[in-house]
Structure 1
Amino acid sequence: MKSHNIRTNSVFAVAGMVGVGKSTMTNAVASRLGFQASFENVAKNPYLEKFYTDFERWSFHLQIFFLAERFKEQKRIVENGGGFVQDRSIYEDVGIFAKMHADEGTMDAVDYETYMNLYEAMVMTPYFPHPNALIYLEGSLESILERIEERGRNMELQTPRSYWEEMYRRYEEWINSFTACPVIRLNINDYDLLSNEEDIDQIIEKLAAVMQKETASRK
């Protein structure tokens, strides 16, 4: 099936809280459109496991690592002329994770200022275009926690529920005020990409409709 006139140089980002299925969605959309999938460099992140054992000690290191990796990926996307689906956006790193640690006191104020100065310098370069659309995955907190438990990552299972509750609240606030690009909100209980192949076509149709509406509004 064709890609509903979605431009081949488009860039989409998949956003949402830990456990909502961003990687699965990224793979499905990229495969359906013939795009490249861009994933977080989790396996090679030297700080991730340390972070979950000591937020205050490692939050700055973790966020700097992700910021650098995200920017390198942005550069690669631009140099390849688009045609990518990104697993998580840089906006989440800045607007949720780094800010949450600064607000909660698990990132030093000076470190947070350094982080934001670096981010702001990056967004002023030609390698930092906004995505054409953001696919936002959401659901109830209980549904998301069930998924986190099912995938069984020790570092996540050992994380206090209060941390997930705070992250969930911040994601809701963040997406309600997000304006960097058009947003498609999908409830994780409304589709099953692993069992129903037709679900991805319906999602692509929603994506195409948002893109067409955005194009029309510019004319």
Structure 2
Amino acid sequence: MNSTPFIAVEGPIGVGKTSLAKAIAEHYEFQLLKEIVEENPFLGKFYDNIDEWSFQTEMFFLCNRYKQLEEIQDQYLSKQVPVVSDYHIFKNRIFAGRTLKDRHHHKYMQCFDILTEDMPVPNMIIYMNASLDTLLKRVKQRGRFIEQNMDPAYLEQLAADYDTFMSAFKKQHPEIPVLTFNGDDIDFVAYETDKEKIFSLIDATLKKGEVAK
């Protein structure tokens, strides 16, 4: 695991990952890593027809996230520059498990395992989830055109998949602290006090020595 702080913010679509990662980057003066989303040429088609376009969509995300993490390792972490990311590459497994057919999923996981074998691993995860109503509200507020045809049932199932995955992740990786927040109860964009609560928990985790400073 990296000795330099590398924080990943995770959660389902619309929960506020990028907004929180930006706030953390500004507050702690960390390098910000943002996932490529709208640049994916298959994503709009994916929301129209998941079965038809899931493999292309997930492979694009995998290759781009691999390249981003490789650059983050070479340009920042290897030089002891702290990083905060608005995703963890493990999210690819969640989405692929939900959308890919068996024959595609097997091929995809072979590629995933090869590409992520020596990728930098975050040493703190901030996990946010929320109810479907909250997620839909925030997706609507940010107004991404490619998300307007998203099936609410897909988003609801995705949120449940995240909870299941994170429960398993915490058992499998007890060495990585996971800070969990409920987006129904906390709004760090609207309320400064909520943002300060998050920073306070990050500070406490850093001070415990669980993540190198």
Structure 1 position 49 matched with structure 2 position 44: yes
> What does residue 99 of structure 1 align with?
97
Write the deviation string for residues 2-34 of structure 1: whole angstroms up to 9, x where unpaired: xxxxx9931111100101111100100011110
Query: 1:61/1:140 Cα in 2 relative to 1: closer, same or farther (>3 Å)?
Result: same
Which residue of 124, 141, 144 maps to 2:117?
Answer: 124
> What does residue 164 of structure 1 align with?
155
| Amino acid paired to 2:104 | D
> What does residue 148 of structure 1 align with?
139
The percent identity for this pair of structures is: 31
Task: Say if 1:51 and 1:58, in contact at 8 Å, map to a contact too.
Answer: yes
Is there any run of 5+ residues in structure 1 with no aligned partner, and where? 1-6, 102-106
1-structure distance, mates of 2:152, 2:50: 14
> What does residue 87 of structure 1 align with?
86
Which residue of 179, 189, 194 maps to 1:194?
Answer: 189
Task: Say if 1:28 and 1:193, in contact at 8 Å, map to a contact too.
Answer: no
Task: Say if 1:12 and 1:133, in contact at 8 Å, map to a contact too.
Answer: yes
Which residue of 16, 22, 26 maps to 1:27?
Answer: 22
Q: How does 1:170-189 map to 2 (within 5 A)?
A: 170-179=161-170, 180=173, 181-189=176-184
Q: Give the TM-score normalised by structure 1.
A: 0.83
RMSD of aligned C-alpha atoms? Answer: 2.3
Q: Give the TM-score normalised by structure 2.
A: 0.85
SS of the residue corresponding to residue 9 of structure 1 reads coil
Structure 1 position 13 matched with structure 2 position 8: yes
> What does residue 70 of structure 2 align with?
75
2-structure distance, mates of 1:92, 1:213: 27
2-structure distance, mates of 1:215, 1:160: 39
2-structure distance, mates of 1:189, 1:90: 25
Q: CA deviation at 1:39?
A: 1.0
Query: 1:93/1:214 Cα in 2 relative to 1: closer, same or farther (>3 Å)?
Result: farther
Q: CA deviation at 1:198?
A: 4.5
Write the deviation string for residues 179-216 of structure 1: whole angstroms up to 9, x where unpaired: 34220001224443334444433312211322444639
1-structure distance, mates of 2:45, 2:148: 14
Q: CA deviation at 1:157?
A: 2.9
2-structure distance, mates of 1:44, 1:160: 21
> What does residue 4 of structure 1 align with?
none
2-structure distance, mates of 1:176, 1:33: 28
Is there any run of 5+ residues in structure 2 with no aligned partner, and where? none
Number of aligned residues: 203
Structure 1 position 58 matched with structure 2 position 53: yes
Q: CA deviation at 1:165?
A: 2.0
Q: CA deviation at 1:64?
A: 0.8
2-structure distance, mates of 1:110, 1:185: 34
